[in-house]
Structure 1
Amino acid sequence: MIDKAETPVEPTLADAARAALQGEKAVLTARDFQDFLAGIVTSVIRNVLEVRAGKLKPDEAGERDDATVRQLAQILMGEHERIRLAPAEDAPEPGPELVAEMERNLPALFRNLPEGADPKNPRALMVHAARVFLREIYAMVKAAAADGAKLTDQVLRVRIERLAAVWAARFSGDALGDSPKAQEAAR
């Protein structure tokens, strides 16, 4: 029998938020990061609804999107002043190591870089990856809107969670089981 005092406790997203408010860097575990990405998806959906309702100007929503992309890229590069990503045991460290792993396992993610983007600059590549994530959110919103009355809160929640799970894996350098590490582990 394990004494409760000896049982390691995983920090929660609330613990991370509390740490950030106290001036410490909040640490996001892999699970927290997935929840964080789901929060981004939810925020984008909320912004779309507010634009459609006339409560938010499209330019303001665009500014929010840009801020989200910058913040996400900073977290993934290990440069955010208040949030630190704690990678899983076998995942690369945030920053250039993560970008290199993503390039190796997800080369399609870095195709079609915007004109003027330096393909050798890890920060530029991570900003691009964050923008691709944002575009996938909008594609999911468009597909959800096309479902009309068939779209329930539960269906939307599942779509948000799936998108967040896929991108949490991508942003850890994993090609959803296609990475050399995953193939090695399967042998």
Structure 2
Amino acid sequence: MATKAALREQILTQLNKMDQATYEKRSQVIAEQLFQEKMWQNATTIGITIARFPEIATQAIIKQAWQDGKVVSIPETDNKTKSMQFRVYEDGDELCKKALGLYEPLESAAVVPKTKVDLLIVPGVLFRTDGYRIGFGAGFYDRYLDGYQGATISLCYPEQITTTFKPEPHDLPVQKLVIENNLK
């Protein structure tokens, strides 16, 4: 069985071949599917990343959340402690680019307690249909999910679904996968 690192590299190489127009179209299809989910409709505060290619684009999702009157929060990571917290992100807020190349909120943005995030949209590279995932390798979400009580969803392309990895004891599954063109 291939290592998580090898599987991660393999799928990212495949996804990175996608052209921009295809990427935008596929991300929009997945976003529209997300908006049909009860977890989305019932949430008042969401946790979501500012995605980077080839992750499912999140800007349209964030804009829809604002239009729906939801509080949007994005993660702030601490590489020293390997921890993460979410901070409020409002239209027009300035972001800073961190060590991992992710755009994160400024420290002046209000912290959103873990108990206040209704829906966490959890990024990942590979997924099993039972919700277990291989992330990007830093472990921030694995640590954050420990003790998190809200709803969890991951967005993915069909080619990100696999059965070729076994979850580790610290891995926690997401409750729902929103798979492109799969309205289960």
TM-score tier (shorter): under 0.3
- Structure with the bigger percentage of strand: 2
Q: TM-score, normalised by structure 2?
A: 0.24
TM-score (norm 1): 0.23
